[in-house]
Amino acid sequence: MQIVFFSTQAYDRESFLSQPALSDCELVFQQPKLTVDTAVLAAGAEVVCAFINDDLSAAVLEKLAAGGTRLIALRSAGYNHIDLEAAKRLALAVVHVPSYSPHAIAEHTIALILALNRHLNRAYNRTREGDFSLRGLTGFDLVNKTVGIIGTGQIGAAFARIMAGFGCRLLAYDPYPNPEVIALGAEYLPLEQLFPQAHIVSLHCPLSPATHHLINPQTLALMQKGSMLINTSRGALVDTPAVIEALKTGHLGHLGLDVYEEEADLFFSDLSDYPLQDDVLARLLTFPNVIITAHQAFLTREALAGIASTTLLNVAAWRRGQPQNLVQPG
């Protein structure tokens, strides 16, 4: 049996090949993204392993199913990018990796907060140029600041634990409050009460119709002047042009992004030899108080090992006729 992997990088090959091999199973690593045009690379493969920016629309799933694919093994927690109704219609099973290392994403969120607050991007460049001045580098103590956590599942809870350690006051919003987060002292509030009180707002909820553009002109207006917004969840939670307006007026004080609504054609590729074609991203990159990383929050050795091991276990379980970590239409 063949598993064809799309959108692979060297670290994917390394982490999957370090796992115990599945018997009678060949792993084929393809570098291209999965699209209508590249789906042919999986012809004859029973299993396709896809990542977050692969195209899993009905048109692509139809091509895969016609080529003999029966299982889509997502090597991600999020599954907002797959047409689950089409998969069901085509009798394609879909599995995902619900948990690998929530710490990896929570800790990257902290890295963004600390780097933005203490202006590490500017300080790094300055000292390398022999400029040892401190002008414009004033930050704030995190202790006693209020942090608004939107989505308190595995990653939100890991993030809450770390922020509690900094001595922050925790506010949270989630339709299903997490007792562990309540035990840390967090207060669950409706969003319209959370936004005005938070010095830092961090997004840890999935992308869904209910959360699409959760950060928009109205919710930005509710936020404190000078506050910090962090999104390590999914790009489309944020209306980016609205955020740019808030940065231009100074209403938003800092922005840290690991995800971007239009990232699919940009992130994970070296485009440094070409003019950047995305004007919205280009504008974002001009602000000194914005740090963008290219969807790297998951990128720790532990998370990669967890993704590889669960994905292969998912395939093995499906093969035995006892599928685990199935994703079904909502």
| Catalytic annotation, residues | 234, 263, 295
Q: Between vectors from CA 106 to CA 151 and to CA 54, what angle results, nearest 5°? A: 80
Q: Smallest distance, Å, CB 202 to ligand NAD?
A: 11
| DSSP characters over 29-80 | E--SPP-TTTGGGGTT-SEEEE-TTS-BSHHHHHHHHHTT--EEEESSS--T
d(CA 160, CA 171): 9
Helices and strands of the chain, counted as H and E runs: 12, 12
Q: How is residue 10 written in tokens?
A: 């060297």
Q: Does 174 bind ligand NAD (CB under 6 A)?
A: yes
Binding segment for ligand NAD among 53-61, 167-175, 220-228, 249-257 (CB under 6 A)? 167-175
Q: Smallest distance, Å, CB 293 to ligand NAD?
A: 9
By CB under 6 A, name the one of 258, 260, 284, 318 that touches ligand NAD.
258
Binding segment for ligand NAD among 4-12, 117-125, 151-159, 311-319 (CB under 6 A)? 151-159
Q: Does 150 bind ligand NAD (CB under 6 A)?
A: yes
Q: Compare residues 64 and 228 and give the one whose CB is closer to ligand NAD.
A: 228
Rg, C-alpha atoms of the chain: 21
Q: Compare residues 232 and 240 and give the one whose CB is closer to ligand NAD.
A: 232
Q: Does 297 bind ligand NAD (CB under 6 A)?
A: yes
The count of other CB atoms within 10 Å of the CB of residue 303 is 20
Q: Compare residues 146 and 152 and give the one whose CB is closer to ligand NAD.
A: 152
Q: Compare residues 15 and 69 and give the one whose CB is closer to ligand NAD.
A: 15
Q: Does 235 bind ligand NAD (CB under 6 A)?
A: no
**Coil, strand, or helix at residue 320?**
coil
Q: Does 154 bind ligand NAD (CB under 6 A)?
A: yes
Q: Smallest distance, Å, CB 314 to ligand NAD?
A: 16
Would you say the C-alpha torsion 189, 179, 142, 202 has a positive or negative sign?
negative
Helix axes 120-128, 102-117, angle to 10 degrees: 60
Q: Does 256 bind ligand NAD (CB under 6 A)?
A: no
Let me know: does 158 contact 204? Beta carbons within 8 Å. Answer: no
| Residues of this chain that bind ligand NAD (CB under 6 A) | 77-78, 102, 105, 150-156, 173-176, 204-207, 210-211, 232-234, 258-259, 295, 297-298
